[in-house]
Amino acid sequence: MDDTQAIEAALQAYFDGLYDGDTGKLASCFHETADLRAVSPEGKLAMMTRQQWFDYVTSRPSAASRGLARHDWVVTLDRSGPATAFAKVNCQLPPRYFTDYLVLGKLADGWKIISKTYHTETR
């Protein structure tokens, strides 16, 4: 598998983990020190550790368990070097729709998401 395919596989694991509410799948593509960040409409920065996010994921019904259609895709994939990449992706857990900015690094155990910044829209 080349690097682009490996990055795409990590992103697919991310999409699958989100849709299924499966933190095992998410752990396979998220580095253990990864964090999540978002800016609120009031201009405040919210931060979460990977474990805090995993706790939240397991506390809510998954999109799969709710029978929701999947709509997740890669908008942009950019590689700045042999060990770093950036992906802008869209996904949904209605009524919330997400634009995620994912930074990936090629580590000894493969490509991992090392940072996530996201925007949420409620419809």
Task: Reduce the secondary structure of the chain to three states and give it as a string.
Answer: CCHHHHHHHHHHHHHHHHHHCCHHHHHHHEEEEEEEEEECCCCCEEEEEHHHHHHHHHHCCCCCCCCCCCCCEEEEEEEEECCEEEEEEEEEECCEEEEEEEEEEEECCEEEEEEEEEEEEEC
Question: What global pTM score does this model have?
Answer: 0.94
CATH number at residue 17: 3.10.450.50
- The number of domains in the chain is 1
Domain encompassing residue 24: 3-122
The model's pLDDT over 62-117, given as tens digits with 9 standing for 90+, comes to: 999 999 999 999 999 999 999 999 999 999 988 899 999 999 999 999 999 999 99
